């Protein structure tokens, strides 16, 4: 639309200039016709009043006659003089013609041919409604203007015409319109156009500059469009690559790297973190009972669900080590040491609760021995950041406190959550637990007192304590948290199982 508008504006300039030149030409010719007509009228009046009249009043040998050429010393009458003057003017100026015509020609002269314009002008002049008539026509690159004024009978003209035997009319009066005097001028418009050579040069230069600018802009637009397409393709490629890379990093770490908060360089810092470590109990024996494809599917479902819960509580999923999960709180984002510990404990409780649901789903699919998980949590200072080489790095944590979290997990029973004293001190306002016998650990000079989390104080987050026993002839998994809603039915089912066992044992004995 912009290109079309510029073209229309540029093309409109010559059209506007042409209109101005045409109007200027017409006005110029009109002024010339008026001036020339005034000159001829003055010459004819002078000839009639000061030449012919003086000759007639002298009564000399000279005669005033229309046939002056055949009589020595004779002069033409004013009408003949005007006709001869028109021939002289037309012969000397090819673009100018002069006509002195009347619808009352003298006897012996051919009648004058009057066209529609001339007849209309003569009628208007005799009616007194017009003082002159003008007609402007354009033909090709030329302008023609016809300017008509009346031939008014003066005193000498009336005396001559009313007494001349060849006059077709003998009752002329002073002021009558005998005919018309017409001056026609043709002038090429091109001659005026070239009078504006500097303007035309400027217009041509401006048009060329505008067209060049349009072509340049169009080329630039095409170049920019091509670059944009390449950038879009590159952005799509980078987005796809970054999405794939994000699968290998924790979302918090991925975000901090791509927003520039974390430099991709070997750099670590020491921070107080809360470390979570979980492991699937008897995973080796479970993996031996399952096909590799089925085991892979179960393990991926388990990791997916646990990672989702960890991210929901703001934990940074460090890595998966076999069937173990390492999560830490406090880096790269933290809510404070105490709040990080509370979030980590709530995450562990929620993971145990979700595992119960997963086990139900897996058993419904035919998995005889689902996963049972042990969890350990510790709070302490660790080195966190990029470890590795310039070619291969890993954002992780290192320190004895991380090892302690793994050791606490190792001493936990199925479905238990074991925390260190440092963590229990931070979460005791939301959790109920009790101390276990102290343990010693390599690298830690003093004994460590672990704490078993019994349940959360928050009613909405009841602990998912599970009794899970698998022996020959017995497959028992009791969720104490869910059993509280139907204690009577649960107790009846257990008593019925015990009675059946007693009867069977008594029969066997």
Highest-pLDDT range among 53-62, 152-161, 377-386? 377-386
Structural domain contains residue 49: yes
Q: Binning pLDDT at 50, 70 and 90, where does residue 198 land? A: low
| Token pair of 172 as six digits | 């002329």
Residue carrying the six token digits 């989702």: 308
pLDDT at position 509, please?
Answer: 46
Is residue 401 domain-shared with residue 446, that is, in the same domain?
yes
Q: Where are the alpha helices (DSSP H) in 59-196?
A: 78-92, 116-127, 155-163, 189-193
Percent of the chain with pLDDT over 70: 75
Containing H/E element for 306?
helix 292-312
Domain boundary at 180, 195, 210, which? Answer: 195
Q: Does 338 have pLDDT greater than 50?
A: yes
Is residue 300 domain-shared with residue 392, that is, in the same domain?
yes
pLDDT at position 304, please?
Answer: 92
* 378, 409 Cβ separation under 8 angstroms: no
Burial class (CB in 10 A: 0-12, 13-18, 19+), 402: buried
* CATH number (domain holding residue 458): 3.30.70.1230
Is residue 270 domain-shared with residue 349, that is, in the same domain?
yes
Average pLDDT over residues 298-306: 92
| Token pair of 89 as six digits | 């003017």
pLDDT at position 421, please?
Answer: 92
Is residue 24 domain-shared with residue 52, that is, in the same domain?
yes
Residue 237: how many CA atoms within 13 Å on its side-chain side? 6
pLDDT at position 463, please?
Answer: 46
Q: Binning pLDDT at 50, 70 and 90, where does residue 302 land? A: very high
Residue carrying the six token digits 């470390």: 275
Highest-pLDDT range among 15-19, 125-129, 171-175? 171-175
pLDDT at position 190, please?
Answer: 61
pLDDT at position 106, please?
Answer: 82
pLDDT at position 395, please?
Answer: 83
Query: Rounded CA gap, 312 and 321, in Å?
Result: 21
CA angle at 324 for the pair 444 and 440, rounded to the nearest 5°:
20
Structural domain contains residue 126: yes
DSSP 8-state secondary structure symbol assigned to residue 249: S
* 314, 333 Cβ separation under 8 angstroms: yes
Q: What is the pLDDT of residues 412-469, one digit of tens each?
A: 988 899 999 999 999 999 999 999 999 887 767 788 899 999 988 855 444 445 665 6
Is residue 450 domain-shared with residue 501, that is, in the same domain?
no
Q: Binning pLDDT at 50, 70 and 90, where does residue 189 land? A: low
Structural domain contains residue 258: no
Query: Rounded CA gap, 212 and 218, in Å?
Result: 10
pLDDT at position 54, please?
Answer: 62
Query: Rounded CA gap, 376 and 412, in Å?
Result: 7
Query: Rounded CA gap, 79 and 112, in Å?
Result: 13
Query: Rounded CA gap, 448 and 438, in Å?
Result: 5
Domain boundary at 137, 171, 195, which? Answer: 195
| Token pair of 294 as six digits | 């089925």
* 172, 153 Cβ separation under 8 angstroms: yes
Domain boundary at 156, 175, 195, which? Answer: 195
Q: Binning pLDDT at 50, 70 and 90, where does residue 379 land? A: very high
Least confident of 199-208, 353-362, 363-372, 474-483: 474-483
Structural domain including 508 reads 472-509
More confidently predicted of 467 and 299: 299
Handedness of CA 329, 330, 332, 336 (dihedral sign): positive
Q: What is the pLDDT of residues 156-170, one digit of tens each?
A: 788 888 888 888 888
CA angle at 322 for the pair 318 and 326, rounded to the nearest 5°:
25
Structural domain contains residue 154: yes
Is residue 109 domain-shared with residue 182, that is, in the same domain?
yes
Q: Does 485 have pLDDT greater than 80?
A: no
Q: Which residues, including other chains, have CB under 8 Å from residue 289's CB and lie 6 or more apart?
A: 368, 369
Structural domain contains residue 452: yes
Report the candidate in 500, 507, 477, 506 with the shortest Cα–Cα distance to residue 490.
477
Is residue 338 domain-shared with residue 288, that is, in the same domain?
yes
DSSP 8-state secondary structure symbol assigned to residue 49: I
Report the candidate in 163, 119, 121, 157 with the shortest Cα–Cα distance to residue 37.
121
Is residue 362 domain-shared with residue 451, that is, in the same domain?
yes
Is residue 306 domain-shared with residue 388, that is, in the same domain?
yes
Containing H/E element for 495?
helix 487-508
pLDDT at position 324, please?
Answer: 92
Structural domain contains residue 400: yes
Structural domain contains residue 235: no
Rounded to 5 degrees, φ, ψ at 134 are -130, 140
pLDDT at position 431, please?
Answer: 92
Is residue 362 domain-shared with residue 476, that is, in the same domain?
no
pLDDT at position 328, please?
Answer: 94
Report the candidate in 385, 392, 381 with the shortest Cα–Cα distance to residue 261.
385
* 122, 177 Cβ separation under 8 angstroms: yes
Structural domain contains residue 116: yes
Number of folded domains in the chain? Answer: 3
Is residue 381 domain-shared with residue 509, that is, in the same domain?
no
pLDDT at position 30, please?
Answer: 72
If you average pLDDT over every residue of the chain, what do you get? Answer: 80
Q: What is the pTM of this model?
A: 0.49
Q: What is the pLDDT of residues 240-279, one digit of tens each?
A: 777 676 666 666 666 776 666 666 667 788 999 999 999 9
Is residue 176 domain-shared with residue 286, that is, in the same domain?
no
- DSSP secondary structure letters along 167-188: -S-S---TT-EEEEEEEEEEEE
In a 3-state reduction of DSSP, which class is residue 300?
helix
């Amino acid at each position: 639309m912009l290109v079309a508008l510029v073209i229309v504006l540029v093309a409109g300039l010559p059209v506007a200039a042409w209109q101005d030149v045409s109007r200027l030409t017409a006005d110029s010719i009109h002024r010339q016709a008026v001036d020339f007509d005034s000159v001829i009228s003055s010459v004819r009046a002078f000839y009639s009043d000061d030449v012919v009249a003086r000759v007639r009043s002298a009564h000399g040998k000279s005669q005033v006659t229309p046939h002056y050429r055949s009589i020595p010393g004779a002069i033409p009458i004013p009408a003949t003089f005007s006709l001869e003057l028109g021939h002289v003017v037309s012969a000397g100026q090819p673009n100018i013609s002069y006509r002195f015509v009347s619808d009352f020609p003298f006897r012996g002269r051919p009648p004058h041919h009057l066209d529609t314009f001339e007849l209309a002008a003569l009628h208007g002049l005799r009616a007194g409604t017009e003082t002159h008539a003008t007609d402007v026509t354009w033909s090709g690159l030329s302008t023609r203007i016809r300017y008509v004024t009346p031939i008014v009978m003066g005193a000498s003209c009336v005396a001559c015409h009313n007494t001349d035997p060849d006059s077709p009319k003998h009752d002329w009066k002073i002021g009558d319109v005998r005919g018309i005097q017409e001056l026609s001028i043709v002038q090429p418009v091109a001659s005026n156009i070239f009078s504006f050579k500097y303007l035309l040069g400027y217009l041509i230069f401006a048009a060329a500059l505008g067209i060049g600018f349009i072509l340049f802009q169009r080329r630039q637009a095409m170049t920019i469009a091509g670059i944009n397409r390449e950038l879009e393709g590159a952005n799509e490629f980078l987005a796809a690559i970054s999405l794939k890379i994000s699968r290998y990093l924790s979302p918090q770490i991925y975000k901090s790297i791509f927003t520039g908060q974390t430099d991709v360089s070997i750099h670590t810092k020491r921070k107080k973190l809360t470390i979570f470590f979980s492991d699937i109990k008897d995973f080796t024996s479970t993996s031996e009972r399952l096909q590799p494809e089925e085991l892979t599917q179960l393990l991926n479902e388990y990791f997916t669900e646990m990672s989702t819960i960890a991210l929901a509580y703001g934990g940074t999923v460090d890595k998966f080590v076999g069937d173990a999960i390492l999560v830490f709180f406090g880096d790269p984002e933290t809510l404070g040491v105490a709040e990080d510990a509370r979030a980590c404990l709530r995450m562990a409780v929620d993971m145990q609760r979700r595992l119960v649901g997963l086990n139900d789903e897996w058993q419904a699919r035919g998995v005889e021995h689902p996963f049972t998980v042990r969890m350990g949590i510790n709070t302490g200072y660790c080195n966190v950041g990029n470890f590795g080489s310039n070619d291969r790095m890993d954002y992780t944590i290192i320190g004895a406190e991380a090892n302690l979290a793994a050791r606490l997990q190792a001493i936990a029973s199925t479905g238990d959550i074991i925390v260190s004293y440092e963590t229990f001190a931070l979460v005791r306002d939301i959790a109920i637990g009790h101390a276990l016998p102290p343990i010693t650990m390599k690298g830690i000079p003093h004994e460590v007192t672990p704490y078993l989390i019994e349940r959360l104080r928050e009613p909405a987050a009841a602990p998912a304590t599970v009794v899970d026993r698998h022996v020959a002839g017995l497959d028992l998994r009791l969720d104490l948290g869910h059993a509280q809603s139907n204690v009577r039915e649960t107790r009846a089912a257990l008593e019925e199982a015990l009675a059946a066992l007693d009867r069977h044992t008594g029969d066997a004995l």
